[in-house]
Amino acid sequence: MFFSSFIILTILFCSTVQSKALIADGGFAAQSLKSCNTDLRYLNQVIGWQVKWPRQWKSIVSSGLKPSDDTMTKWSQVPSALSSATDKLRLGITSKETAPRAVVIRIQQQIDDLSLALTQENSKYSFSNIEDQSSAKWNGLIKESIAPAVDKFSQFITAEYLPAARKQPGLASVDGGEKCFINAVTWWTTLDMSHEKIETIGRKYLNDSANQLLATGVKGDTVKSMLASLRAHSKEEHTTTSMLIDISEKALARAHNKTLLSFSMQTEKEIKVSKMPQYMQDSAPAGYYGKAQSKIPARYIINPSRPNERRLMAEVIAFHEGVPGHHLWVTYPREVASKGYNSGILEGWALYSEYLADEMDLYSSTFDRQGMITKHLWTASRLIVEPGIHLRGWSREDAINFMLNNTVMSRTEIEIEVDRYIAMPGQSLSYILGADLILSERERAQNILGKTFDLAKFHDVILLAGVRSLSQVQSDIRSWVNEMNI
């Protein structure tokens, strides 16, 4: 999942790789914390089992295909998987490695909602028309096995785990927390970087973005006054979900039509804009990219909750998730398909594409350009907030206040974001750190090559080789510059 950036990782959401034994844990992100003393390895409100499994159950029902024996065997493991997860979390209570309370509260709500949805009449996870034995067996599995197991886990979280959850939000309170954080940053970004360097880059982009925002204003404006004005404008907006989708579709169409201004090739793969499932909306970011699967085209999946707040950044997020961002990356014509996952290059490219969209004159108004700039204030603030939470002992409220003072986002949206940074240390840093490397190497290449610099060829160096570490991306770019400079 690619995190939308916002967060959300679609390689993580859409990966079809499954282990033989069903495991109820924190998902793909647990790998970044495998040597850390925290139950964040098992609990994650963004990509944990309680988010991933329902999506797969719904897909089984909506596909119109009969559940296979393998499908039934796999999902019959739900009770044992949740029982095993409960045992691990009880050990976490004993060893005082519980996940932070803010994360547990979000997961508790998700599981409560899931438990209710599983037991509702005409549940979306059950076949409404039972025309064959396999569909009846699936409905029986949901009702008699999966739903009771989820309810039992929900009771455990509420009665036992939440009262014991760690009040401090960051790794600063965990034994070996600093090393854990730095290792997590390296895992996500493939960069070996001190937290001082991370914070320096963050402050640079905060300052640059603030100056860009001021340049869009009028005499007498300050960054504070402009953020307040944009935040007030969002409250007064009358944007509907359908309007948000329409704006996004038009932005993606413009981007596709202008692709050859900056690239040697276009993608011909379709991308659709659709709404995010209800159960994800309260704890999910503004949107994410879903790769094409079977007969289902690629999707930019929008969070339709609070559409008035999401209007300001509607275009920039569309470019990030679609073209020239994640969709272009995934579907760019290559001789060999890009495989693997590395947040540094994938999210770095998607954030770079937001700047590139500005160069391509894709933003339809000053207001939408301000949406891009305020999104960059948000992204840059993460490089201050994450070290603050995980190394400097910031409280959750400290982090929220910093973002209230430095971004245009509402408190509700900031709380979702801060809880994401608590749950997935290091992941949010990959956006600007990856984009900064691309932007820095592009500037270096332009300085060396001068008029012979070719932007489309520069992009091909990054895109055609597919997913790899940021250090390898840098090496590839510099080799290309040396070849062009002979």
> What is the DSSP pairing of strand 298-302 with strand 271-275?
parallel
Name the β-bridge partners of 127.
Answer: none
DSSP state of 161: I
Name the β-bridge partners of 296.
Answer: 293
Q: What is the pLDDT of residues 274-288, one digit of tens each?
A: 998 776 777 677 888
C-alpha–C-alpha distance, residues 25 and 30, integer Å:
8
Name the residue with higher pLDDT: 237 or 406: 406
Name the residue with higher pLDDT: 382 or 234: 382
Mean pLDDT of the chain: 92
Q: Which helix (H) or strand (E) holds 287?
A: strand 287-290
pLDDT at position 278: 77
- Ranges 164-168, 237-241, 243-247: which has the least confidence: 237-241
Categorize the per-residue pLDDT at 35 as very low, low, confident or very high, splitting at 50, 70 and 90: confident
| Residue 227: HSE in the Cβ half-sphere, 13 Å Cα cutoff | 21
Categorize the per-residue pLDDT at 122 as very low, low, confident or very high, splitting at 50, 70 and 90: confident
Q: What is the pLDDT of residues 54-66, one digit of tens each?
A: 989 988 998 878 8
C-alpha–C-alpha distance, residues 288 and 23, integer Å:
24
Q: Which helix (H) or strand (E) holds 183?
A: helix 177-189
pLDDT at position 283: 66
Is residue 7 pLDDT above 60, yes or no? no
CA 357 distance to own-chain centroid: 20
For 297-309, what is the mean pLDDT? 92
For 219-240, what is the mean pLDDT? 93
Is residue 338 pLDDT above 60, yes or no? yes
Q: Which helix (H) or strand (E) holds 274?
A: strand 271-275
With 0-12 CB in 10 A as exposed, 13-18 as middle and 19+ as buried, what is 340? Answer: exposed
Categorize the per-residue pLDDT at 19 as very low, low, confident or very high, splitting at 50, 70 and 90: very low
In this structure, is the dihedral angle defined by the CA atoms of residues 10, 11, 12 and 14, taken in order, positive or negative? positive
Is residue 4 pLDDT above 60, yes or no? no
For 215-234, what is the mean pLDDT? 95
| Residue 475: HSE in the Cβ half-sphere, 13 Å Cα cutoff | 6
Q: Residue 286 in contact with residue 10, Cβ under 8 Å?
A: no
DSSP state of 129: S
Take residue 62 and report the two structure tokens written for it: 């909506």
Collapsing DSSP to helix, strand or coil, 64 comes out as coil
Cβ within 8 Å of residue 75, ≥6 positions away: 22, 57, 141, 146
Residue at 410: amino acid letter: S
Is residue 422 pLDDT above 60, yes or no? yes
| Residue 139: HSE in the Cβ half-sphere, 13 Å Cα cutoff | 16
C-alpha–C-alpha distance, residues 486 and 481, integer Å:
9
Is residue 356 pLDDT above 90, yes or no? yes
Q: Where are the alpha helices (DSSP H) in 258-365?
A: 278-281, 307-310, 314-321, 326-331, 343-359
pLDDT at position 65: 83
Residue written as token pair 């909602």: 113
Residue at 132: amino acid letter: D
Take residue 457 and report the two structure tokens written for it: 């060829």
% of the chain residues with pLDDT over 70 = 96
- Ranges 151-160, 285-294, 367-376: which has the least confidence: 285-294
pLDDT at position 245: 94
pLDDT at position 399: 98
Q: What is the largest CA-CA distance in the chain?
A: 72
Q: Residue 288 in contact with residue 301, Cβ under 8 Å?
A: yes
Name the β-bridge partners of 273.
Answer: 300
What global pTM score does this model have? 0.90
Is residue 27 pLDDT above 50, yes or no? yes
Name the residue with higher pLDDT: 36 or 284: 36
Packed helices 455-463 and 343-359: angle between N→C axes, nearest 10 degrees? 160
Is residue 294 pLDDT above 80, yes or no? no
Q: What is the pLDDT of residues 134-193, one digit of tens each?
A: 899 999 999 999 999 999 999 999 999 999 999 999 999 899 999 999 999 999 999 999
Distances (CA, A) of 246 to 272, 318, 459: 11, 11, 29
For 194-201, what is the mean pLDDT? 96
Take residue 186 and report the two structure tokens written for it: 């390296």
Distances (CA, A) of 196 to 328, 383, 386: 33, 10, 12
